[in-house]
Amino acid sequence: MKGHIAFCPHFHQPHFQLYKTREEAYRNSYLPWLDLLKKAVDIDQFYINLHLSGPLLYWLRDQKQSYIKDFKKLVETNKIGLVGGLADEPFVQLSSRNDDFLYQLKKYEELLYELTEVKASGWQGIHVVERECGEITLKELTYAANLINSPAIFYLDAETFYESHFNYPGSDYDYCLKHFGFVDPVAKTTISHIPQKYLHYAFRDELAGQEFFSVPVHSQFRYQLLKRQSFTTADKVRIKPQHYYFYIKDALEEASKFSKALGRNIPPILVIFEDAEKLGQWSKDPTGDVEWLLEFFELVAADDDLEFIGLKQYLDKCGPIDTYPVSLSHSYPEWENWTAKRGIRGVTFGDERLRRVICRLRDLEELQESYENEVINNFGQNIANIDTDIRNIIKRSILSSSERYELIEKMLKDEPEQLLIYEVVNRIRNLVYQEDPKWASRHPSYGSSPYYDVMGLAYLEIAYKVLQSLTKEKPHYPKVVETDWDYDGVEEILIENDYQTLVIDRKGGCISYHHILSPNLANKVGEMTDIIVKDSHIPAYNSIFRYAYPLVFTEADSDMALKFYDEGGRKEISRNSLRCHLLAKDINGYNVIGDFASSLFEIELVEVIGNRVTVILACNQRINNDSEIVLRKTFVMEESYLSCEFEVLGQVPSGLDLYIAPQIVTSAAASDEVDFRPSAFIGVSGNSDTNVNIDVTDISVINENGIDYKSSSYQSVLPNKIDYLYLINSADNSKFWNLVSYNLTTDDEVVNLIVAPAVREYYKDYVFENQSDLGYHTSGVLIKPIIKVTAGQANLLVNIGWQLDTDKNENNYSGLYSLIEK
Amino acid sequence: MLVLHSHIPYVKRQGRWPFGEVWLFEAMAETYIPFLKNWLDLKQLGYNAKVTFSLSPVLIEQLNSKYIQREFINYLKERETLALDDERYFRGHGEKDLANLAANYYNFYRDIRRDYITEFDFNITGILKSLQEEGNIEIITTAATHAYLPLLDKPSLEYQVITGKKIYEEVFATSPRGFWLPECGYSQGLEDILVEHGFAYFYVDSHAIEGGKPIGVFSSDIVDDEIIIETFASTGLSTYRPYKIKDKDIMVFGRNSIVSHQVWSAEFGYPGDEDYREFHKHFDRSGFKYWKITDRNIAMHKKSIYDPDLADLKVNIHAKHFVDSLKNTAKEAKKLGFSRPLIVGCYDTELFGHWWWEGVKWLNQVIKDVAESDQLDFVLPSEITSAKHEAEVFDSSWGLGGKHFVWENKETAWMWDIIKNTGGEYEKLSTVHPKSDIEQRAKEMALKELMLVQSSDWLFMVTNNLTKDYAMKRFFEHYTKFLRIAGAIHDDLLDEDFVQWLLETEHEDDIFL
């Protein structure tokens, strides 16, 4: 036996990663990796396959040129093979455009060649993001790989090929037993299959005639690699280098017997795939990890039966053992509760917040296609006087082509300004698909991470406006569309003007998405173009928040989740803004009456007059079987202004003491990527004669041990204006405050004012407890006045304004409530 | 003082399963390797458990055999395959808990193989040797084939002791200071041969020193009116200290009855806990044990599925209980005037892991708890250089009745006739001057067969009616081999057939080369 080991670590930091986190990973992992590789390339039998993600490479190019220089030298030793990948590490399968596959591969190739002079033809394989590999992904990647002369070799999870345990009579999947109570004697698979433990070969496969090769990744060798520490207190397992070597050799020996039994006698290959950050960054002990790996390398090098190898080298040397198709859409099968076996589409569309990112991407893609239609029309008219039908077929063919963006770019070669904008918009659109905010946000081991999407959306909204300026048929602003924007079967109202993008959801009659541009920037296409062109190298810092910010883009709130049963049947619901509860007070406190916060509202009016859009939603509910209560919300949007008036009207049943409790929410949150010391506060002002109790709950207290929470109550003059200020501290030395301002006007008695984190807990009991905790430092703020219903009616007008990079500060307020304490 | 006595009779090439080599492989996989691995891990964590290991020469020989080392790997791989098959079987039948247990077995045997290869380099005795050289443990020897010494004739006694010492010296490159009397079997005067060969100490059961009623851990299920459970005269002495045998230059350590009782007692001992794995119920397809004791008195088919987490909880509870009882024992001893009382716990090593599946974990936890205690310390016999007080020791053993009954009774009387007869025959042979290399080799083989006949194991199995057929077969085989050699030498018939047979016998019984 000559067993082959393809060691394939994957280096990755997402676009918009926090400065401090990225620098820490650089110190703890990427530099130690370089030291390790410098030593390892001196080992005779050493070879390694490295995949550095596009976002990480962009950052290294921008920030760590010396690292790239050293890395290039190491690559020149021919002991390091590079694995290609996608420029933005995106889930391209979420995109509506199949040309994104080629786009991503080409951009990656350009980048990698620029940094290492390694062409796609020299790659050892292609990294599939999270090894999430439906048929479309594999087909399109293979097609794109062929176009750039890259080998179509992918490492994929072993479970992609093989269900761990097939069905048997009497097992969980014996549906006769389940439904009728008898054992189905033929509840067995008939497919010829290879036991999982023998899947240590390269397999040929094809999709739509596109041939590709895959090599299985076995989770055992991911988990055992560098297992030097305990995961939990109960975990006593330590894997030494010689143990790891033992397991690998053992697996290869077993596999070797298998190929002999097949009559092929092909030497086996074992892929070690793992995140590179496991070295040093996870363990915080890079020295120990480096020693561990070096010892392992030496053990392999000293064994004549084993050999490190590149993926392509292996295919060239040994070839595939057979054609053996992969199954579909599997990634990380051990986390079934997380993906519910529905892959990244299940994750993304199963979560309201993540779905909104995709919806907004769809808007941009629609706009982009509209623009591309125009480009093709212009181009077609210029080059040929052909039949309209044929022209339409050509147009459709181009739009469905894997090379669509390239064709459009070629057509725009005489329009350099448009070409530049097109390229940048396409760039931004692609990067919003990056995996981390989708994958990690809903992984049980990680906390909420909307941050990356918030930045992506800030860029996307500017790009949207810039691209719109290129289209012939510019929309008349304000644009109002009644559409099922988020594909949930219920129409939303999407309103756009130069300053805002707003989505009003009839479910709960609330705002589910609200993005704003700085008034200084809106309508100034030149300046917006300059910003995105300047940042098209993918910025390292978060200063874009000076120009754009999604004010409502809230997390799912566990308080609102619909639970069907304890074991996990539930639907998570985003907090959103401007929901409103109707409350009744008794000796035990407030009780929710009806379900105004989640019921479907009817559209009473959608009206556009000049710049002013008015939308009126109403929900009529019968309470206590006799009284009818109507809650009406009137949304008014003008250029850089938004208001909502809440009105409740109806007969109050006798003996009931009713209140309304509107929820004024923003998901805008402080961000300090430099020191991790975020700041945010509420500033109030008012001159009323009335006092009110203000409860500020769950103030985030950041200390050495993490974050604690505390609450305070204050007696204050009833504020008619509440300003929320949050700090953005960016590593490019820009530090500024953003402001969201709420003016509250009511004719009725405000009995209490509650300030709370927008979302206190998300995915509670489903992610680790400390990861489920949110607060002002991550989720934004919720302001909830409790207003008494008098004589069957109550109202509240909320005027919402904002300033990005505001001049205001703590000194401007008579009443000040810190939301984050250190 | 923790003393672990390790012994497996000579089973190499003497049948594989259900009786034979599998006994050795089970002890290696379930006890020796897990215990040593745990011990080494504890050492890495800063715990230094001073343990006294007694290794029978016949075990040492087998552990060092290339044949056994190779076959042990095959055995482990067979177990791994069986465990995987069981796992698939159980999953296919919706038995998730059983499937998970099968997966645990797979991981267990795979990692034993891993450790045996990567950590021990196939060399268990080599690891022990290093540890002894580093001063972490003390290894002592015992009778060559674990013969029951009190009933042997003097020449046989000498062969057993001298060979035991010789094997020890060859393997551990030093002379043994301590001698483990097989089955704690002692008769007055036995110490003379130990003194003669330079031994400094040995162990006896508690009643041999203190008097009183013996614990009698072995053969407790035997119902026989003829057993005399003698109550030994109370001596006023105590096992809390070592003694010098009266007028002899050798120390004796007495096993502490309290600590022994808690572990060994079939009725009250920890291993009988309801949550521990049931030793006696096997899964037909593979032989793996998937059930817990549940209740010692219920039928096998009513046993519940084993829950490793529950068992782990019990391990910690029992370890704490044991260490607390050590502390209390020490406290009581101090009240009696023993300022630094010695508590000697002697156990068969194979109890931990093999017989009592959770025993290795328990021992591990006990070692940690003792190390972390400020009231208890482990001690090695070499740290006790002399005994101030003298004692005379009763004839005794740790078997039922406290004396020799388990090994000498009406069931085994005929065996002793053969043993004594064979001994006498060998004495005659020993005076013959070999005329050829073959005759010399035949004489050496005769001695080996003599010693194999003398193993206490065959007597024990016959008495207890455990694997009696196998024991008798082995006893007769070694006896007949001896007879053939003796006859051939006596009749000077060392012909080609004999030489061929001798070669085969040397191959089969290749110990003590």
Q: Choose the mutation target among A233, A243, A249 for the interface with B, i.e. most B CBs under 10 Å.
A: A243
CATH number of this structure's domain A558-821? 2.70.98
| CA R_g for chain B | 23
Whether B183 sits among the annotated catalytic residues: the reply is yes
Catalytic residue from among B21, B30, B86, B183: B183
Minimal-distance CA residue of chain A relative to B118: A242
Identify whether the C-beta of residue A45 lies closer than 8 Å to the C-beta of residue A300.
yes
- Among candidates A171, A238, A243 on the partner chain, residue whose Cβ is nearest the Cβ of B94: A171
pLDDT of residue B219: 42
Inspect the interface and report whether the beta carbons of B93 and A172 lie closer than 8 Å.
no
Inspect the interface and report whether the beta carbons of B92 and A165 lie closer than 8 Å.
yes
| Chain B: closest CA distance from residue A168 (Å) | 5
Inspect the interface and report whether the beta carbons of B91 and A168 lie closer than 8 Å.
yes
- pLDDT single digits (tens) B312-335: 999 999 999 999 999 999 999 999
pLDDT of residue A167: 64
Does the pLDDT value for residue B277 go beyond 90?
yes
Nearest-angstrom CA–CA distance, B441 and B167: 18
| Chain B: closest CA distance from residue A243 (Å) | 6
- Using CB atoms within 10 Å of the CB of residue A685, give its burial: 0 to 12 exposed, 13 to 18 middle, 19+ buried: middle
Inspect the interface and report whether the beta carbons of B114 and A168 lie closer than 8 Å.
no
Equal fold, A3-162+199-331 vs A558-821: no
Inspect the interface and report whether the beta carbons of A168 and B117 lie closer than 8 Å.
no
Minimal-distance CA residue of chain A relative to B42: A236
Residue spans per domain, chain B: 2-391, 413-508
Categorize the per-residue pLDDT at B216 as very low, low, confident or very high, splitting at 50, 70 and 90: low
ipTM above 0.85, yes or no: no
List of chain B residues whose C-beta atoms are within 8 Å of the C-beta of residue A183? none
Beta bridge pairs of residue A716: A692
List of chain A residues whose C-beta atoms are within 8 Å of the C-beta of residue B88? 165
Looking up tokens 């950050």 gives: A277
Inspect the interface and report whether the beta carbons of A242 and B119 lie closer than 8 Å.
yes
User: CB distance from B77 to chain A under 8 Å?
Assistant: no
Catalytic residue from among B205, B348, B350, B509: B348
Minimal-distance CA residue of chain A relative to B111: A243
Inspect the interface and report whether the beta carbons of B117 and A246 lie closer than 8 Å.
yes
User: CB distance from B300 to chain A under 8 Å?
Assistant: no
- What does DSSP assign to residue B47? -
- pLDDT single digits (tens) B61-72: 999 999 999 999
pLDDT of residue A335: 47
Q: Which residues of chain A are modeled with pLDDT < 50?
A: 329-336
Whether B348 sits among the annotated catalytic residues: the reply is yes
Q: How many residues would you count in chain B?
A: 513
Question: B2-391: which CATH topology?
Answer: 7-stranded beta/alpha barrel (3.20.110)
Q: Choose the mutation target among B33, B89, B91 for the interface with A, i.e. most A CBs under 10 Å.
A: B91
Helix (H, G, I), strand (E, B) or coil at B262: helix
Q: Choose the mutation target among B42, B47, B89, B93 for the interface with A, i.e. most A CBs under 10 Å.
A: B93
Minimal-distance CA residue of chain A relative to B117: A246
Does the pLDDT value for residue B287 go beyond 50?
yes
- pLDDT single digits (tens) B432-467: 899 999 999 999 999 999 999 999 999 999 998 888
List of chain B residues whose C-beta atoms are within 8 Å of the C-beta of residue A243? 114, 118
Q: Is the omega angle on the peptide bond into residue B18 within 30 degrees of 0, that is, cis? A: yes
Inspect the interface and report whether the beta carbons of A171 and B91 lie closer than 8 Å.
yes
Comparing B271-280, B322-331, B504-513, which segment has the lowest mean pLDDT?
A: B504-513
Identify whether the C-beta of residue A578 lies closer than 8 Å to the C-beta of residue A663.
yes
pLDDT of residue B218: 45
Identify whether the C-beta of residue A482 lies closer than 8 Å to the C-beta of residue A382.
no
Minimal-distance CA residue of chain B relative to A241: B118
List of chain A residues whose C-beta atoms are within 8 Å of the C-beta of residue B118? 240, 242-243, 245-246
- pLDDT single digits (tens) B183-213: 999 999 999 999 999 999 999 999 999 987 7
Kindly report the backbone phi and psi dihedral angles of residue A110, in degrees, each rounded to the nearest multiple of 5, phi listed first.
-60, -45
CATH number of this structure's domain A3-162+199-331? 3.20.110.20
List of chain B residues whose C-beta atoms are within 8 Å of the C-beta of residue A167? 92
- Express as a percent the part of chain B with pLDDT over 90: 84
**What share of residues in chain A are helix, strand, coil (percent, to 5)?**
35, 30, 35
- Among candidates A165, A168, A243 on the partner chain, residue whose Cβ is nearest the Cβ of B114: A243
What are A's interface residues with B at a Cβ cutoff of 8 A?
165-172, 238, 240, 242-243, 245-247, 250
Inspect the interface and report whether the beta carbons of A168 and B92 lie closer than 8 Å.
yes
Contacts of A255 (CB under 8 A, 6+ apart): A3, A197, A198, A199, A200, A201, A268, A270
Identify whether the C-beta of residue B57 lies closer than 8 Å to the C-beta of residue B182.
no
> How many helices (H) and strands (E) would you count in chain A?
22, 35
Inspect the interface and report whether the beta carbons of B88 and A250 lie closer than 8 Å.
no
Inspect the interface and report whether the beta carbons of A246 and B92 lie closer than 8 Å.
no
Minimal-distance CA residue of chain B relative to A238: B41
User: CB distance from B337 to chain A under 8 Å?
Assistant: no
| Chain A: closest CA distance from residue B118 (Å) | 6
Listed by number, the residues of chain B in 12-51 with a beta carbon closer than 8 Å to a beta carbon of chain A are 41
User: CB distance from B166 to chain A under 8 Å?
Assistant: no
Angle in degrees, CA A62, A64, A69, rounded to 5:
110
**Burial state string for B75-87 with b = 16 or more CB within 10 A and e = fewer than 16:** bbeebbebbbebb
Q: Taking residues B133-149, what's their average pLDDT?
A: 96
Give the number of beta-carbon pairs within 8 Å between A and B: 31
Inspect the interface and report whether the beta carbons of B118 and A240 lie closer than 8 Å.
yes
- Among candidates B91, B110, B118 on the partner chain, residue whose Cβ is nearest the Cβ of A242: B118
Residue spans per domain, chain A: 3-162+199-331, 347-552, 558-821
List of chain B residues whose C-beta atoms are within 8 Å of the C-beta of residue A165? 88, 91-92
CATH architecture of B413-508: Up-down Bundle (1.20)
Inspect the interface and report whether the beta carbons of A245 and B119 lie closer than 8 Å.
no
Concatenating the DSSP letter of every residue in A611-671 gives TEEEEEEEEEEEETTTEEEEEEEEEEEETTEEEEEEEEEEPPPTT--EEEEEEEEE----E
Identify whether the C-beta of residue B140 lies closer than 8 Å to the C-beta of residue B180.
yes
List of chain A residues whose C-beta atoms are within 8 Å of the C-beta of residue B114? 243, 246-247, 250
